[in-house]
Amino acid sequence: MSDSLFHDLPAMEPGWVWLCGAGPGDPGLLTLHAVNALRQADVIVYDALVDDRVLSWANPQAEKIYAGKRGGKPSAKQRDISLRLVSLAREGRRVLRLKGGDPFVFGRGGEEAQSLVQHGIPIRIIPGISAGIGGLAYAGVPVTHRDVNQSVTFVTGHDQSGATPSTLDWEGIARGSQVIVIYMGMKHIARISAALIAGGRAVEEPVAVVTSAATEHQQVLETTLGRVAEDIAESGLTPPAIICVGRAVLMRQVLDWQAMAAGAVARDLDPLGRGRPAEAG
């Protein structure tokens, strides 16, 4: 990539920590600010969902420190990660904290940034494309569509204890949000789907489960709210996953662009049954 592209981008100063989103998987979804940070950092502290190809763009002399947190597997404690960032910055190093997706969307970026500021460490925040938007787009599912929804709700499938969040009003979410995007919800999907149905959602409501979104290992399961837990179990799919609930999922029948690029044809040109061309008002 030409150096001329980076002339007007900020310099990473010693002792600073930049918290940066690496997007949902495909390295091409990095921002220029993210690539600029990778080229300058002395040390990169990265998460489990950061693609190895992203790291290959780093400064060749940069130290790379793995700090992944995956459910059910040995993981670094959040306190230790935050204090490690403080320590590295105090050594006068240029520190890049690299997270999958966006650091401020269920990524604990807010916690880490606050800890750094409390310890007197200067920070810069570099947003990334969240998996709940970009990952679904790679699966051909738009999180908003004017014939479907004027609202979308993003929720996490587990809280700090690893259980289904008890503070969420699932009945209210079921009633009030036309499209629901669930991060890290595969483990508790039976409980979540039951709560949404109890809140009034139809058992036939379309659901898409996208695993390893925006990577070469991406898989997509199309199902319904009443069958999603059973179908996930039968499919053998494993996390990381994004789950989308709502009629927007039907649009995948016409927007599965990766399949069409490989030679498939759209399964249904009018999956919402509008009865008129998309450009018609």
3 state DSSP class of 68: coil
182 vs 1, 52, 122, 186, 246, CA distance in Å? 35, 25, 32, 9, 11
Residue with tokens 């390893």, as numbered in its chain: 212
Please, which residues have CB within 8 angstroms of residue 262's CB and are 6 or more apart in sequence?
Answer: none
Are 142 and 251 within 8 A, CB to CB? yes
Phi then psi for residue 64, to 5 deg, are -115, 125
**CA dihedral (147, 148, 153, 157) positive or negative:** negative
Of the residues 12, 26, 47, 51, only one is catalytic, namely 47
What are 172's two structure tokens? 């209210």
87 vs 19, 82, 84, 119, 211, CA distance in Å? 15, 9, 5, 10, 35
Are 251 and 206 within 8 A, CB to CB? no
What are 40's two structure tokens? 């300058």
Asked if 184 is an active-site residue, the reply is yes
Of the residues 12, 99, 102, 184, only one is catalytic, namely 184
What are 280's two structure tokens? 């018609």
In angstroms, the CA 6 to CA 16 distance is 19
3 state DSSP class of 27: helix
Of the residues 42, 64, 69, 231, only one is catalytic, namely 69
**CA dihedral (136, 242, 159, 179) positive or negative:** positive
Residues with catalytic roles: 47, 69, 184
